[in-house]
């Protein structure tokens, strides 16, 4: 008679089963822990290499002054223009990508027929598969001359160029995730709304969009993260001039971002010179990490609040 056919188990069998169950559980826990641990380790190592910079230099000078001459003697590390550059490029790309992405998602999920959606969605998602260096090349060879020749801009490698390309790169994420959220809102909800006499537009704006809001918000957040962290494109398209545009909303001037600075300066500022230039890049990395972290936290909080409110409805 096999064990599984019996109802009563011997104490020894119970023990073995418990051991296996415990093993299985701890294995799964360990696997999950690896991901969490990786993040912690990264934070630890970045922070460790960032700390020496703050010991040598003033945090206020780093954040609020404007002279970025890391390889000059003596070196100056005023990164204000770089922080502002990151902010400008990210905000602009978000302002472009989020509305367009959400509208495209609405169109895909509620406007076009099933067949067209099946065709369009993979095409949009294919955008995400294009390597960022290809986008950068496009920015340099197509976008920059276009901006100069057609719009008469002085230099085509500027904040607008980088933002537009970043926006296009963030689109597939935003479209795809919001479309899933809109789909998840369900047919019942829509039909219920129609049954109450609501028009299609009313249903979309007052019922479906609010119901899918938390998903759409996550989508936007993922898009923002993509834009903040993207390196290659901004390195190639933004011009990398360490200046705050005048006036600050002038998108047609070149700017420099945190990611591009890290990528561009890393090779020169390596451990063998043991310099502040090396550590300042880690300080920038840490700033980026903190920013993403805060974004994530805020996102989590808003999504949770949204869900609570929806449940209350």
Partner 1 sequence: MKYTVMAVLVALGCLSVSAQTKLSLDGSTTVGPIAKAFAEYYMRQNPGVVITVSESGSGNGAKALLNGTCDIANLSRDLKKEERAAMESKGVHPIQHIVAHDALPLIVHPSNKVKNLTLDQVRDIYTGKITNWREVGGPELNIVIISRDTNSGTYETFKELVLGKEAKICATAEYVGSNGAIRQRVQTTRGAIGYAGLGFVDSSVKALSINGIEATMETAQDKSYPISRDLFMFTNGNPASDSLIAKFIGLSETEKGCEIVSEIGFVPVKKK
Residues interacting with partner 1, by CB under 8 A?
66, 68-73, 81, 140-141, 144-145, 148-149, 154-157, 235-236, 239-243, 253-254, 256, 264-268, 270, 272-274
d(CA 282, CA 48): 9
**SS3 of residue 294 by DSSP:** helix
Tell me the H-state helices in 185-229: 187-195, 200-202, 209-211, 213-229
Smallest gap, in angstroms, from Cβ of residue 67 to partner 1? 8
Q: Work out whether strand 68-69 and strand 76-77 pair parallel, antiparallel, or are unpaired.
A: antiparallel
Least distance from C-beta 151 to partner 1, angstroms? 13
Q: Please name the helix (run of DSSP H) or strand (run of DSSP E) that holds residue 136, with its range, or none.
A: helix 132-138
The residue among 113 and 271 lying less far from partner 1, judged by its C-beta, is 271
Provide the minimum distance between the beta carbon of 127 and partner 1 in the complex, in angstroms, as a whole number: 24
Closest of 302, 99, 108 to residue 214, by C-alpha:
302
In the structure encoding, which two tokens stand for residue 113, read together? 């027929």
Q: Closest approach of Cβ 225 to partner 1, in Å? A: 24
* Backbone torsions φ then ψ of 299, nearest 5 degrees: -60, -50
> Which tokens belong to 296?
């994530």
CB of 159 to partner 1, least distance (A): 12
Cβ 233 to partner 1, closest distance in Å?
12
Identify the H or E element spanning 76: strand 76-77
Distances (CA, A) of 12 to 15, 26, 261: 5, 21, 63
Look at the block and give the residue holding tokens 């970025």: 68
Of 240 and 287, which has the nearer Cβ to partner 1? Answer: 240
Residue number, 66 or 183, with CB nearest to partner 1: 66
Nearer to partner 1, 61 or 180 (CB): 61
Nearer to partner 1, 96 or 157 (CB): 157
Closest distance of CB 119 from partner 1, Å: 36
Q: Give the residue from 241, 296, 277, 278 showing the smallest Cα distance to 74.
A: 277
87 Cβ contact partners less than 8 Å away, ≥ 6 residues apart: none
Would you say 243 or 292 has its CB closer to partner 1? 243
Least distance CB 42 / partner 1 (angstroms): 21
Which lies closer to partner 1 via its Cβ, residue 153 or residue 224?
Answer: 153
What is the C-alpha to C-alpha distance for residues 173 and 3, in angstroms, rounded to an integer? 50
């Amino acid at each position: 008679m096999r064990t599984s056919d019996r109802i009563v188990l011997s104490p020894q069998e119970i023990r073995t089963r418990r051991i296996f169950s415990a093993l299985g559980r701890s294995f799964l826990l360990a696997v999950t822990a690896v991901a969490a641990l990786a993040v912690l380790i990264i934070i630890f190592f970045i922070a460790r290499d960032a700390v020496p910079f703050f010991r040598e230099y003033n945090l206020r000078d780093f954040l609020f002054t404007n002279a970025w001459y890391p390889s000059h003697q003596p070196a100056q590390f005023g990164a204000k223009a770089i922080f502002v550059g990151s902010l400008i490029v990210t905000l602009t790309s978000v302002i472009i990508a989020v509305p367009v992405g959400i509208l495209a998602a609405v169109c895909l999920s509620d406007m076009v027929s099933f067949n067209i959606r099946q065709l369009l969605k993979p095409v949009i998602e294919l955008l995400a598969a294009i390597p960022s260096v290809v986008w950068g090349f496009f920015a340099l060879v197509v976008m920059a001359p276009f901006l100069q020749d057609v719009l008469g801009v002085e230099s085509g490698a500027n904040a607008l160029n980088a933002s537009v390309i970043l926006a296009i790169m963030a689109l597939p994420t935003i479209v795809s995730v919001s479309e899933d959220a809109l789909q998840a809102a369900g047919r019942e909800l829509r039909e219920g709304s129609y049954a109450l006499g609501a028009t299609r537009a009313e249903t979309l704006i007052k019922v479906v969009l609010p119901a899918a809001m938390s998903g759409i918000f996550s989508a936007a957040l993922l898009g923002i993260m993509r834009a903040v962290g993207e390196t290659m494109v901004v390195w190639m398209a933004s011009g990398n001039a360490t200046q705050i545009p005048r006036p600050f909303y002038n998108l047609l001037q070149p700017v420099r971002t945190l990611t591009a600075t890290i990528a561009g300066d890393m090779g020169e500022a390596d451990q063998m010179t043991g310099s502040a230039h090396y550590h300042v890049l880690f300080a920038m990395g840490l700033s980026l990490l903190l920013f993403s972290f805060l974004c994530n936290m805020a996102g989590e909080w808003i999504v949770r609040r949204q869900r609570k409110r929806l449940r209350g409805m």
